[in-house]
Structure 1
Amino acid sequence: MFFKKEKDNFPAFLLTSLVIILGVHIFALLTSLYYILPWFDIAVHGMGGFWAASFIYYLLFYTYRGSVRMPCFIAFVVIVSGTALVGVLWEFFEFAMDIINIPFLGIGLSGKAVLVDTLLDLLMDIAGGSLAGMLLLWLKKNTL
């Protein structure tokens, strides 16, 4: 994926990875995999954070034909902050699905378990986003 024509391949990477993550999520919901393997939710949030960070990276560096220039550290902070925002919005969505009580969409937890799940989800979103941010910025620096 990361070679001379990275810019041309990146949208395909984003779309393909989004379809895979959504497919895994839907499969896990339909088969109750999140309940059978509680750690699976953590892994999916890590993948989602990685995807969100990759999307933000793409928006930062490829939507305006490279006109955005910023130090690596600032880019990293923007990428991780954007990933955290996406994670928080997703947690609001999960919370709303629990309140509305739509089958298969909420997590169905109560009490302290909800807080622990939410914080762990956000931690994994940020961890996945941080990993993607570091990797993508390192690759960008070393391929220019």
Structure 2
Amino acid sequence: MKRALLYLSLLFASNVVSMYYSLYIKWWWFDAVQHFLGGFFIAMLIASYLKDHMVSGKTFKNMLVVTGATALIGVFWEFTEYTANQTLPGWIYEQFQIKTYFIGDLKDTLSDLFLDIAGAACFYGLHLLNRRNSHESKAVFENKINGPTK
């Protein structure tokens, strides 16, 4: 869980720096990368937090829980962006002389949510591959130590 929090903190810090340097405007793809990584690391955090509550043998159900929770957080993030866009640009410009915008149109919002979910699905897929490979490695190791089971 600590690793996920560290990555999310770094991602949030990069978001602040990106707004300051207008990277979202300079590089059209930057927002997509941020949202994909956000979904990936939120899923990592949720999976880590819920690991003791995941149902053994219910891979699809567990994936839906992690991906659904990530999507919900993505929706909250979009509401936060909307609220920030309605309230903060004037204040930020007065205080720091930085022109900001926080949210695009509906197409941008739907794209952001899709990328959040894609990041979560990618995390869960890699998580499953890693678990499968570690179980196979453990079985091979036990076979070498204890001999084949009959």
CA deviations 1:79-100 (Å, max 9, x no partner) are 1101110110000000111121
TM-score (norm: length of structure 1): 0.79
Higher RCO (Cα < 8 Å, 6 or more apart):
1
1:94 aligned partner? 81
**Percent identical across equivalent pairs?**
31
Distance change (3 Å), C-alpha of 1:105 and 1:57 = farther
Give ranges in structure 1 of 5+ residues lacking alignment. Answer: 1-10
Aligned to 2:141: none
Q: Is the 8 A contact 1:49 1:125 kept in 2?
A: yes
1:115-130 matches, within 5 Å, as: 115-130=106-121
Correspondent of 2:102 among 99, 107, 120: 107
RMSD across aligned positions (CA): 1.8
Gapped runs of 5+ residues in structure 2?
Answer: 93-98, 136-150
CA shift for structure 1 position 59: 1.4
Following TM superposition, the consecutive aligned residue runs of length 4 or more in structure 1 with deviations greater than 6 angstroms are none
Structure with the greater alpha carbon radius of gyration: 2
3-state SS in 2 of match to 1:53: helix
Q: Which has the higher helix share?
A: 2
TM-score (norm 2): 0.76
Instruction: Report the equivalent of 2:148.
Output: none
Counterpart contact for 1:14–1:55, Cα < 8 Å = yes
SS of 1:38 mapped into structure 2:
coil
Taking structure 1 as reference, are residues 108 and 46 closer, same or farther at Cα in structure 2, changes over 3 Å only?
A: closer
